[in-house]
Amino acid sequence: MKSYKNILFTLLAIVMVLTGLSCRKAGEITTSLQPQTSEPLTAPATPQAPRLEYWTCSMHPQVKEPKPGNCPICGMTLIPLYATGASATGEKTPSDQGEVYLSQEGIRQASVRVEPAEKRGLSKELLIFGSLGYNFNLHRDVIPLVSGRIEKQFIDFNLTEVKKGASLISIYSTEAIAYQEEYLKALRERWLSTFYERELLDSMVKLAAEKLQRIGYTDDDLKHLQEDCKVAPDIIVRAPISGSIVGNMVHIGEMAKPDQPLYHIVPLDELWFNAQVFEPDLGLLELGQKVRITTKSFPGEEFVGKLAFIGRTLEASNRTIPVRFTIPNPKLRLLPNLSANGALEIPLGNFLSVPNSAVLDLGTRHVVYIQKEVGAYVRRNVRVGQVTQHYTKIIEGLTAGDLVVTSGAFLVDAQSQLRSAAPVGVDAPVGTEKTSESPPAAAQPHHH
């Protein structure tokens, strides 16, 4: 009986000990579930170094080499390509924000330089090609007004410049002789008429004189004819204007007809520069704009003229518009049909612009890369206007002061294309670029 009681007391003691341990453990659990404000619930994750995927070429992204070296296609130095995404500390990297990241070595290798976008006075030099010609508005054809045989030529083939009224040739014409006889007959009848008939005969004399004037007779010629009362066998053809003879020198003995020009005369103290302008440049043209032309005949010498005509028809074969400039030629040094090159300086005004090297033409759009901070570059779509010799007008997409990449923009874009074409370790969010050339120094993998 005593033995049984000892066993019972022993079991009771064991139960009490187990009950106390259970309550203590429950208290510890309850305490651990209470909110803690001084320390985080979980310990920070162990930083993991970015993974080097392969070495590639910025010009040929299809190249994937396991170690550094040169591109087997173009010989350029290969660049490392790392898996991008969240950094070892869990913070967002520039590539997660659509940026292109370059290390200091990458900046040096790509020769990246930036320049602020700003307003500039832009002008465009339009280069055009054409030839010189004479002024058709001043051109005159020398045509005989009566038929006849050329009896004498008063100029020779060595003389090309003539003055207005200068004698050119004499023509034997029976028609001219008949007009002279009609005029002399009218004069005789008027002097022999009575006072009452004189008014009617004056009209006949005037009509006969007008016939002679229409075939080239001058007032002096009529005066001499009236004084001599003798018919001249030849009629003189004179130069209608002062200028240069540019075609059709005749020969003695040839027959002259009213429908056949004898000479072409045109002043050469002002020439035309005839050229073609391409369709995209039509909107830049305004009448009166100055042009500077050069010729092979006078190398290094410029002749200045102004725009006088803009064509109204487009040449469908080459998409050009004819234009014409007037070129002063006081010393008659320039000649028709000389080939010439023209430079047209067109002021465009003050506009926001960037250097031409900053704008990348992707076919359907234009982009520039903006530097947010040293080593971080963001691609931005822009709408461009006129492109001058050094600068591109920006219509939309930039503001004054934005730092744009002007040197190395192509290589920066190549980095972007590499990441967009290459498989990466972490999926990129929709609408972002996962681009990186090399990770920051703190995230480089350590080898022990």
Under the banding of pLDDT at 50, 70 and 90, the label for residue 51 is: low
Residue located via tokens 């009509």: 207
In the listed set 294, 319, 347, which residue is the last one of a domain according to the structure? 347
Under the banding of pLDDT at 50, 70 and 90, the label for residue 291 is: very high
Same domain, 194 and 182: yes
Same domain, 238 and 293: no
For residue 386, is it within any domain?
no
Q: What percent of the chain has pLDDT over 70?
A: 76
Domain range for residue 246? 140-266
Q: Which phi and psi (to 5°) does residue 255 adopt?
A: -90, 130
What is the Cα–Cα distance from 439 to 103, expressed in whole angstroms? Answer: 7
Residue located via tokens 């930083």: 47
Q: In the structure encoding, which two tokens stand for residue 145, read together?
A: 């007004």
Same domain, 151 and 231: yes
Tell me how crowded residue 172 is: count the other CB atoms within 10 A of its CB. 15
The answer to whether 114 and 406 have CB atoms below 8 angstroms apart is yes
For residue 103, is it within any domain?
no
Same domain, 339 and 194: no
For residue 184, is it within any domain?
yes
Q: Burial code of 415-437, b = ≥16 C-beta within 10 A, e = fewer? A: bbebbeebebeeebeeeebbbbb
The average confidence (pLDDT) of the chain is 78
In the listed set 347, 380, 406, which residue is the last one of a domain according to the structure? 347
Least confident span in 26-35, 87-96, 371-380: 87-96
For residue 121, is it within any domain?
no
Mean pLDDT: which of 25-34, 183-192, 377-386 is highest?
Answer: 377-386
For residue 160, is it within any domain?
yes
CATH of the domain at 241: 2.40.50.100
Under the banding of pLDDT at 50, 70 and 90, the label for residue 324 is: very high
For residue 159, is it within any domain?
yes
For residue 187, is it within any domain?
yes
Same domain, 253 and 187: yes
Q: What is the pTM of this model?
A: 0.58
Same domain, 164 and 254: yes
Under the banding of pLDDT at 50, 70 and 90, the label for residue 328 is: very high
Q: Is the pLDDT of residue 346 over 60?
A: yes
Same domain, 275 and 319: yes
Under the banding of pLDDT at 50, 70 and 90, the label for residue 94 is: very low
Residues facing 381 on adjacent strands:
367
Same domain, 130 and 145: no
Same domain, 219 and 322: no
Q: Give the orientation angle of helix 198-214 with respect to helix 219-228, to 10 degrees.
A: 120
Same domain, 130 and 272: yes
- Domain count across the chain: 2
Q: Is the pLDDT of residue 16 over 70?
A: no
In the listed set 347, 370, 388, which residue is the last one of a domain according to the structure? 347
Same domain, 317 and 282: yes
Least confident span in 21-35, 112-126, 148-162, 311-325: 21-35
Same domain, 156 and 200: yes
For residue 43, is it within any domain?
no
Q: Is the pLDDT of residue 50 over 50?
A: no
CATH of the domain at 329: 2.40.30.170
Q: What's the pLDDT tens digit per position in 125-174?
A: 899 999 999 998 988 999 888 889 999 988 876 667 899 988 898 999 88
